[in-house]
Structure 1
């Protein structure tokens, strides 16, 4: 049995108990998946939708971000009822999401999901029941990786203090002590709770939240777009809720990323922080981030060495990353 099959089987047994008696007959979910060189992932992705959206009416909108492979043709074959949107250019993850929502029919909620996610049984029904609570605009599931290990998907709002804690004692230790940005205390992943933001591979967004908040910010080609959206939603009165009874597998959630993608992630964190804070705070946040990456570079981490160089290059901090910067299939997936 492959790691993917083992993890999926575990979720079939452990996660996604039937939701309460809440009537979901008036719900209609638009599932938006952004494809970029996603062909090998699509068959299993589509298969998981039936189980993950059991009891829920849904439509699938698949956006192909100018893939060099035949992702669009594969999706047409395995999901003939899906709406296929062919982008004219690789505009990034947020741009693909926005194209998908623009092409959707009437809906009460939008499921933004990666093609490397496998939804657990009754996942979306569980999330929908939470979206009905006053003030909730986004609901996210408990994620595991391809080995069945829980992914630290909940986040606290970025701050200078948290960035320095991550840099000095490490993200894992800082997170366990509620000092860092990433929530790494595994006990927290057994509790239903609000979170400042969550990783963007699987997010259910209410239609009302989308109407008030608007589309995702396309200036972030990849990384920090979900941070921006979830915190913008919070600012406008819509919280993000973590639902451990809803389960999903993110196959690449625990894997490493290339030097280029890591640099993009690090730089976009600084760019995002600058959007919400003044010059002095941004300089301090940049410094904390540079300390973290340069320290790890000194310990031999190649991707941190690349990120430290990018942080010292003003044009990277100013510019919006484009398709020329990201050449792997990861370029469209969180």
Structure 2
């Protein structure tokens, strides 16, 4: 680890991640070349050989054993709290593989005035571009997704949450938020906007953090010069995970908007999931049932829960 003015706290949350550890760790030194860094892993009570794999492949890492599956945000918060001194926090999923020099390029972007979060260009395991940039959730964007599909709607700022115009991924730009698998956060942004909200458990926690950071004056900035691979999870094929993602979208929107706007957002989501459920998509069938359940939509207070005005 080369001595520079930057020290990066690499934080990873694991859960039954044994098969991913070796390749993740192997990518860290090339990805962080030229900078001091240290690795802290929060393990959410893995039942496989994750801890043993960490001891084998990353013996210098600090491992925080959570003792339960506490969720992604809780793991990030615990890992950062246990990490050594740092000037930036690099949040990584265990299924991310950093490209050579990735973090040096992200740090350059992070020094841009007004920037608190830097994110790279991501590709999947087949080398295909992942559409990682996101716009703030809105009723119109949910409807655009429902009627046009995410791919077509995302080409238009007003109609799509996911930025799908691939020309946008060829140049540096500010984004409302980005998928949370590979995120570099300045120490100042972390100090002012952390912790990540643990009440989300999984999904929407990165959206919440980025939007709160933006509210505090810290932009999220995408750069195509930094690259990484994200093997990606199964939220789109797992009914349980898709349902959690859908419910957390309502919870997040409710925290930032009044009751009428939230009711419209919920209606748009129900329309989208209901239309997909009608053609036999099991994740949407479960999500639609959950949207109709008041108990499942009930708010779990977190450190940044905001109660919006009634209208």
- The TM-score normalised by the length of structure 1 is 0.87
Contact 2:11 2:40 in 1 (8 A): yes
Contact 1:162 1:181 in 2 (8 A): yes
Matching residue of 2:11 = 32
C-alpha separation in 1, matches of 2:154 and 2:255: 24
Structure 1 segments (4+ residues) deviating >6 Å: none
Matching residue of 2:307 = none
1:222 to 2:209 alignment: no
Structure-to-structure mapping, 1:124-135, within 5 angstroms: 124-135=103-114
Pick one of 132, 146, 150 that aligns with 2:125.
146
Matching residue of 2:89 = 110
C-alpha separation in 2, matches of 1:45 and 1:241: 24
Q: Secondary structure at the match of 1:219?
A: helix
Post-superposition Cα deviations, 1:96-131, rounded to whole Å, max 9, x if no partner, equal 000000001110000000000000110000000111
1:68 to 2:47 alignment: yes
C-alpha separation in 1, matches of 2:129 and 2:3: 28
Contact 1:135 1:239 in 2 (8 A): yes
Contact 1:145 1:253 in 2 (8 A): no
Matching residue of 1:189 = 169
Matching residue of 1:94 = 73
Q: Which runs of 5+ in 1 are unaligned?
A: 1-22, 322-334
C-alpha separation in 2, matches of 1:262 and 1:164: 18
C-alpha separation in 2, matches of 1:152 and 1:177: 14
Change (3 A) 1:298 1:107: same
C-alpha separation in 2, matches of 1:255 and 1:248: 20
- The TM-score normalised by the length of structure 2 is 0.93
Structure number with the bigger relative contact order (C-alpha 8 A, sep ≥ 6) is 1
| Distance apart, 1:320 and its partner CA | 4.6
Q: Secondary structure at the match of 2:160?
A: coil
Change (3 A) 1:170 1:156: same
Pick one of 246, 251, 274 that aligns with 1:294.
274
Post-superposition Cα deviations, 1:230-288, rounded to whole Å, max 9, x if no partner, equal 00000000000001010000012688431000000011001110000000000000000
Pick one of 189, 204, 207 that aligns with 1:209.
189
Matching residue of 1:176 = 155
Post-superposition Cα deviations, 1:264-319, rounded to whole Å, max 9, x if no partner, equal 00110011100000000000000000000111111221111111011011111115
C-alpha separation in 2, matches of 1:303 and 1:39: 27
The alignment covers a number of residue pairs equal to 299
| Distance apart, 1:77 and its partner CA | 1.6
C-alpha separation in 2, matches of 1:61 and 1:118: 16
Matching residue of 2:246 = 266
